Structure 1
């Protein structure tokens, strides 16, 4: 994941995980006990193992399936549908996931689950076997490495939690016979995430060292802690104390004084834009991996760029090349943007009309959509996400012979400073009730959303929206979250944690309509896991949320 340490031996990464074997299971695969117990003898060994622990963060493909967090957070929601080719059966796992037809043998859910626990196991191997009483391990650098590992353990637990609900908390290296895992409670899961974030934030640097972009920082740990507290507050019944705790952590991020909103929101999504002043934690992708269609497990490139590009796009288009049409934007998302929010809308979504205008502006003549029916006709709306778009400039940027479809170097936005501000606004409003401060944070985003430059007096403030549109302040927050982070992977989990995921969202929405029920709030843990661990249930019991 991290560019200047990519030459670490792959042998170590494989030895410290259970990814290398088709018999790979959370509960049963042995870690090489001799290697893990004897390897960690120097600072360099810990640094190398840490790179292996970071690696799954950036996977957009694993175990033969696309597993981007962006797709998981959007395709299940009212923002997007699976898309793909006209058969309505392109990537069947994604079609089932989109339409709420998934079961515990769906092809996506096990790779998603395994990805996080592979990361957790690599972290636990590092933490369990690094002897800090050894003089070789007494350096400040080792303490930072251990703090990074704790951040990663929090990250992986949070990622698997927000799709599967309360899941097994694992804080020790798994033994070969560890088959008795079961789900922990909501409180146990969230407390572990928060404990790891707190421990990490106390040690991590404020800024990464030069050339180490993408590494965990104090701000990243505090922001993840704030996000975890928001989920905990919502899922435990609008707990004001938890909202206050979220606000405290997120205010610490603001008080660091190192993050700011970029002037032009559109610049966040242009080819080559990476690690801006708005990046609190950004998943790194690079074109260095020798990925091809014979070996593309755990690719480091952003594979969804090709997967979610515009299907059937005219080859002459000046900026984009055609992709495979996944993550098809809904008309409902396009219509969500208010009349004075078109700049932010157009940063997020293209339409057939805007693609045609691109051709006219370039002095070219062809129908930009060669054949709209190349897209899944049930999901096709004529609208396309452009935050993770297939830029022609990506072509040929792979440097080690990898396939250009698998080695796109556009990073994934995981937590932007905009998210910190909106989460803080929400926590302040729903906790202490400091609505004045909450609206000030919202207004900062709304001014930027109006376009580059000074927009003072040129946008409607939160209070004006409330007056003009009849919104409550919480309505404004929900409006802003959907508009600001559309097609970035937070929509579905925002709906679930806030209790707003309900069947009315999908009226008129292709195959989704009529399929959703409360049983679909959480994904089932795969059959391959539950048959091995008799105490591990497919779905979380309601008692786990008490």
Structure 2
């Protein structure tokens, strides 16, 4: 059993602090920077501070699903009424205002995270004498790792900006007030290049460990494999298939990762899920009474009424209909009104999704935490988390990049079938945590899989990959990025807008929807030196 490092959830108090200005440096308590970086463990505390933005409940974790799921055809916002989560509705319509609070919060959060990274990189250098706990000096190798780690995180946060806003200001140093007020936008290519520079610096650093060599006590920190996997994702977003294929292959060829046999374990088990061989990059959590709070996502995105949730992120019928008969992933991805689970006191919890702004009848099973996994009975101190990158995503990325670069079609089909085989043959047909689920998944034999479900080299492999990504990664916050990079966002959302349960989502999506509007506050603050995106000016 791997020990739990709590890398992202315990040491974060060390470099806490936020700022009203997205480019301000985070404060160091009562210390000046000069004094702070002479204190014990200042280096690692600063690195942890750069992970800290991932622990933001609303502007990172809930936002992961707001952007990735809710503004797409995979889910609707849900909520108590039509006005609950109205900012998500505005973005989902395809024509949000530049004053939209959701987009403003996303912009501010990512730039605040980037500012933390820039501060770290300015204060952690090979020449900086950093002190460990106990008084020993941090070695040059450790400092080089810190620097590479922080550069990866900066690139990671920039990806969250460019994929929504397009070209944005590229800021790699702490700016003076005059510089902050006269920023200009970088082009998409310039932002992309900054991301690649940061990721490559991480990959090229000899002191950056691989996932296989990472001490178990440090599980959750960035590794070379994580950097390669994320680099593949970035290249895919920009239709750069050859480097995406090479980066994804580095992860596959490492031999470190694999698919868990039972898909449901990924979302219901710490050891067989978040700590498993399929987990490439995740935010670690576990039940710890000494630490106040887990993620707000389960509370936000499970049913209201007797369930105690807030009713957000409701899977659509369109997503449910995407699953083939016999695909066991369906029962482990969506949960529906009327399903029943056993509570810790022996009573039956009947899921009741009526009487609120949920016109789908479904919620995310991946966000639902059964009572047996709630040590204190509540939804707060639980071990729930989510994946930033899973190995099945890497396999499908490689398959797609291989196809797009003219690779062998049988090999492409083989990689798709690695993922499909689990879904149809080794994943539980039932929900092991439920008392009664209405979804019925019939058994599929090996012969039936070979005859009816296995992807063949002669099939439309691009269509097969698109289907497989949707059902394999359903409700995991990646749909938006896939639709965007495939060039399918406009047509998909326009078609979705005509469905009876769309409620206006996608109705205004057109060629000027993306990039989404730069927050008006940033344009005003810079007196217009930051220019608005076309269609929003």
Counterparts of 1:37-56 in structure 2, within 5 Å, are 37=34, 39-41=36-38, 44-56=41-53
Q: Distance in 2 between matches of 1:462 and 1:253?
A: 30
User: CA 1:29–1:13 in structure 2 vs 1: closer, same or farther (change >3 Å)?
Assistant: closer
C-alpha deviations, 1:396-432, integer Å up to 9, x for none? 559xxxxx54444312111100010001111111123
Aligned to 1:333: 319
Structure 2 CA distance for partners of 1:276 and 1:68, relative to 1, 3 Å: farther
1:416 to 390, 393, 396: 390
Matched, 1:3 2:6: yes
Give the aligned partner of residue 209 of structure 2.
Answer: 205
- 1:42, distance to aligned residue in structure 2 (A): 6.8
Give the Cα separation in 2 of the matches to 1:6 and 1:270.
20
1:444 Cα deviation from its structure 2 partner: 0.4
What residue number does 2:473 align with? 485
- Whether 1:168 and 2:163 are equivalent positions in the alignment is no
Distance 1:369 1:391, change over 3 A: closer
Superposed CA offset, 1:488-538 (max 9, x none): 001012111211012123321222152322333333222222211222233
Hey, what does 1:12 align to over in structure 2? 15
| Counterparts in 2 of 1:140 and 1:11: CA distance versus 1, 3 Å | closer
SS at match of 1:82: strand
Residues 284 and 175 from structure 1, CA distance in 2 versus in 1: closer, same or farther, beyond 3 angstroms?
Answer: farther
Residue ranges of structure 2 left out of the alignment (5+ in a row): 130-136, 428-443
Aligned partner of 1:349 in structure 2 is: 334
**Cα distance change on mapping 1:149 and 1:461 into 2, 3 Å:** farther
Alignment of 1:74-473 (within 5 A): 74-85=69-80, 87-100=81-94, 102-134=96-128, 136=137, 138-177=139-178, 178-203=180-205, 204-207=208-211, 208-233=214-239, 242-270=240-268, 272=270, 273-286=273-286, 301-312=294-305, 315=306, 321-341=307-327, 343-352=328-337, 355-356=339-340, 368-370=350-352, 372-376=353-357, 379-397=358-376, 404-452=378-426, 457-460=447-450, 464-465=454-455, 472-473=460-461
Task: Provide the secondary structure at the position in 1 that maps to 2:281.
Answer: strand
Taking only aligned residues, the RMSD between alpha carbons, in angstroms, comes to 3.2
Give the superposition deviation at 1:191: 1.6
1:531 is aligned to 2:527: no
SS at match of 2:217: coil
Which piece of structure 1 moves more, 69-78 or 432-441? 432-441
Secondary structure at 1:205's aligned position in 2?
Answer: coil
- Name structure 1 gaps, 5 residues minimum: 234-241, 293-299, 316-320, 399-403
Q: Which residue of 1 aligns with 2:22?
A: 26
1:123–1:150: 8 Å Cα contact kept in structure 2? yes
CA distance in 2, matches of 1:74, 1:209: 34
1:486/1:6 CA distance change after superposition, 3 Å: closer
* Shift in Å, 1:364: 6.8
Partner of 1:70: 65
Give the Cα separation in 1 of the matches to 2:25 and 2:147. 24
- Alpha-carbon offset, residue 287 of structure 1: 5.2
CA, structure 1 residues 201+66, in 2 after alignment: closer, same or farther (shift >3 Å)?
Answer: closer
**1:140–1:444 Cα change, 3 Å:** same
Instruction: Indicate the residue corresponding to 1:318 in structure 2.
Output: none
TM-score (norm 2): 0.83
Aligned to 2:384, the other structure's residue is in SS state coil
> For 2:376 and 2:348, how far apart are their aligned partners in 1?
28
In the TM superposition, residue 252 of structure 1 has moved relative to its aligned partner by: 0.6
Going from structure 1 to structure 2, the CA distance change for 1:458 and 1:139 (only over 3 Å counts) comes to: farther
> Is the partner of 2:32 in helix, strand or coil?
helix
Q: C-alpha distance in 2, partners of 1:94/1:396?
A: 33
Give the aligned length: 495
